[in-house]
């Protein structure tokens, strides 16, 4: 039995949820999100409350029950308030600049690194802070992880790209005799 799957999901005002052939679509003030839900899970809408029920009682369906409920909850939150991740770029000469649908980095390599911004995401680069926001939690997390992987923070000086809430454990370095 899933504790997350048992909970009722309430729809806020100005939010619509529709289900057709296991395709759940949520419309809200910030846009529309669609996601395919597994056929073992049934989505029931009663007014402004949404419940999920497994069609069969199998280990697979109980595992998918909570996951599906979490996905639908994140979709509802995303179309009402955007998800946001902040990356901090530390290091001398490390720069970021957003131009059109791409973000350009100077990360100490011999060439600039240019990454295309996925549709549906909003990226702002101010000084050394990069803010990624959008309605799809999965896409925001995936894109921020992709950017962080370009230059991971190193443990000696802390140079690189890190999340704003991430703590880098520092190493002592070389001792002189």
- DSSP code per residue over 31-50: EEEEEEPPTTEEEEEETTEE
**CATH top-level class for 83-163?**
alpha beta
Query: What is the CATH T-level fold of the domain 3-80, as seen in this structure?
Result: Outer Surface Protein A; domain 3 (3.90.930)
Average pLDDT estimate for 23-44 = 93
At 15 the pLDDT is 93
- CATH 3.90.930.12, the chain: domain bounds: 3-80, 83-163
Give the closest residue to 81 by CA, choosing from 136, 124, 17: 136
Sign of CA dihedral 72, 76, 81, 82: positive
pLDDT at 112: 95
pTM above 0.85, yes or no: yes
Strand partners, 132: 85, 123
């Amino acid at each position: 039995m899933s504790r997350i799957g048992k909970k009722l999901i309430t729809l806020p005002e100005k939010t619509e949820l529709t289900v057709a052939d296991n395709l759940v679509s949520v419309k809200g003030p910030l846009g529309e999100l669609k996601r395919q839900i597994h056929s073992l899970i049934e989505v029931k809408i009663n007014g402004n409350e949404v419940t999920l029920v497994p069609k069969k009682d199998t280990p697979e369906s109980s595992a998918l029950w909570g996951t599906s409920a979490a996905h639908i909850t994140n979709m509802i939150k995303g179309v009402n308030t955007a998800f946001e991740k902040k990356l901090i770029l530390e290091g001398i000469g490390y720069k970021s600049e957003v131009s059109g649908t791409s973000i350009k980095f100077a990360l100490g390599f011999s060439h600039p690194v240019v990454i295309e911004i996925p549709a549906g995401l909003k990226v702002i680069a101010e000084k050394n802070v990069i803010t990624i926001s959008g309605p799809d939690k999965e896409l925001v997390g995936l894109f921020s992880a992709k950017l962080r992987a370009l230059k991971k923070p190193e443990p000696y000086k802390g140079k690189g790209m890190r999340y704003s809430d991430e703590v880098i454990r520092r190493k002592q370095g070389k001792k002189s005799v």
